[in-house]
Amino acid sequence: MIPFLAVVALAGTAAVAAVSNYTGGSPGLVASASTVQCPDLTDSLSQVSDADKQMVDESVALLDVQVSGAYDRLQQTPVAKRDALVNDLWVQRMPILTRISGALARSSSAPMDPRQMASCKVVTASSEADSIVSLRGRGKGKGKGKAKDNGNGNGNENGGGDGGADEDNVGQGQGLSRKDFADITQVRPNAGGKGNGKNASGGGQFTSKCGRNENGHSNPDNVIVAPGVSNGAHHMHDYVGNLDTSAFSTNDSLSGAGTTCSNGDKSAYYWPVLRLLDGSRERDAKAPGGGQDKNVGKILQPADVKLTMDGNAVDNVTEMPPFMRVITGDAKAFTDGVKNANASWSCTGFEDRQLKDKYPICPQGSRVVRNLEFPSCWDGKNADSANHRTHVVFPKGDGSCPKQFVAVPKLTMVLAYDVPKNAFFAIDSFPEQVHKPVTDHGDFINVMPQKLMRRAVNCINSGRQCEN
């Protein structure tokens, strides 16, 4: 009998293939993009026993494989046969969801109806009228690039160069629209700071300098959401800090690993890679997490990475527990809805203008910036939870933590990129999320030595700025 984990890995390898749709004879112009939308399990996975946790994580990963496979088949399915595709997906999902439902029942969690959670549908990601020439090349293609609007009526050109993209490289643009980009100079300032309360942390900050992933530590795993599952993310992650981080990392292996951080911080910090949509082929063009999952184009290394920990607006912060898992944003926000979406986009020099659901078009000399702010109110007991969210949550509107939660250092990742002028770009995503900016997210596992964590807390609460 094949172990359940092996079934997940085999299914992930077989389910996904790179397929692109085109409109008429226009290379690079994607057809009306449709995607598969399934119910969000986040709220249902409120609690599972330790004995069931691995099975539930693997089950959720297998559901992702099934949805990715359905999305792949959707690109080749006539509209008249889409109901059959959705019905097939329902049949595939039912036994997995029934298994998860049993685990929830054993832990006395709120009941989950597998039949309801198995019901998916096909939705339109963007219209043909909005589709962009996603990979208008600067290479040796035929013809000249054509000027296109940048999504705000300002007439910036994304054409340029000497040629168009060939059809082998169009996959990542699928589903992206001109409306997914905004000229940052036309965005009104919308980001204001919040003052500290009377009993707030002292205004200090702790910084870990962990590099920009110069050593190329990347893989399509997610050890928090899909531990033990190769290609559990279906998109490529950049890592800094802990050198061991992969789907198969354990607390022991993370503790014993080296780090890219200069202060001995062994924590794992990771996020989806950003790719340039210029028709170039990356080393993973035919690999899982890359081209096989419709993530193509040149991977851009961040020009700058800032990892900071700050205080709470109302209370002093306490130490994070060892190996606490924390996520921010929602990798499935395009189909799940924006309830858990949290990342924002901007440009250097325009940080007072933050975009939630659009990629910024930055002026010459300005870098594209991703801002990933993590939740910082801990339940005081658990290093993780079944949905990887309920054990650590965001502060309330006044900055205080909910009842029975305590404040811990607030992690913020700020990633800056040098993007060529007028170039399109996108983050990696699950295939059915079609690279929408609202799906940006980040992950963190606390592997700071206890002494270093204590120092970080002292720096924050005493109002000092500590970095090394």
Q: DSSP assignment of 242-269, as one string?
A: BTT-STT--HHHHHHS-BS-TT----EE
pTM for the model stands at 0.84
Q: How far apart are CA 325 and CA 256, in angstroms?
A: 18
Structure tokens at 176: 């992206």
* Of the candidates 375, 362, 168, the residue with the CA atom closest to the CA atom of residue 280: 168
pLDDT for 202 equals 67
Q: Maximum CA pair distance of the chain?
A: 65
pLDDT average per 10 residues of sequence, the chain (468 residues): 37 31 28 82 88 94 97 93 96 97 88 94 63 33 35 33 32 68 96 53 90 97 96 98 98 98 97 94 96 96 98 96 98 95 97 96 97 98 95 96 97 97 93 96 98 97 92
* Of the candidates 107, 113, 111, 100, the residue with the CA atom closest to the CA atom of residue 47: 107
pLDDT for 110 equals 78
Q: What are phi and psi of 401, to 5 degrees?
A: -85, 150
pLDDT for 468 equals 72
Structure tokens at 201: 């942390």
Q: How far apart are CA 89 and CA 67, in angstroms?
A: 8
Structure tokens at 77: 């399915």
pLDDT for 200 equals 62
Q: Identify any residues that bridge with 370 across adjacent strands, giving them in sequence order.
A: 345, 415
pLDDT for 126 equals 55
Q: How far apart are CA 390 and CA 45, in angstroms?
A: 9
pLDDT for 366 equals 97
Question: Do 97 and 2 touch, CB atoms closer than 8 A?
Answer: no
Q: Is 216 left (phi over 0), alpha (psi -120 to 50) or beta?
A: left
Q: How far apart are CA 217 and CA 270, in angstroms?
A: 10
Question: Do 442 and 329 touch, CB atoms closer than 8 A?
Answer: yes
User: Checking DSSP bridges between strand 441-445 and strand 268-272, what pairing results, if any?
Assistant: antiparallel
Angle (deg, nearest 10), helices 82-106 and 50-74: 170
Structure tokens at 168: 């082998």
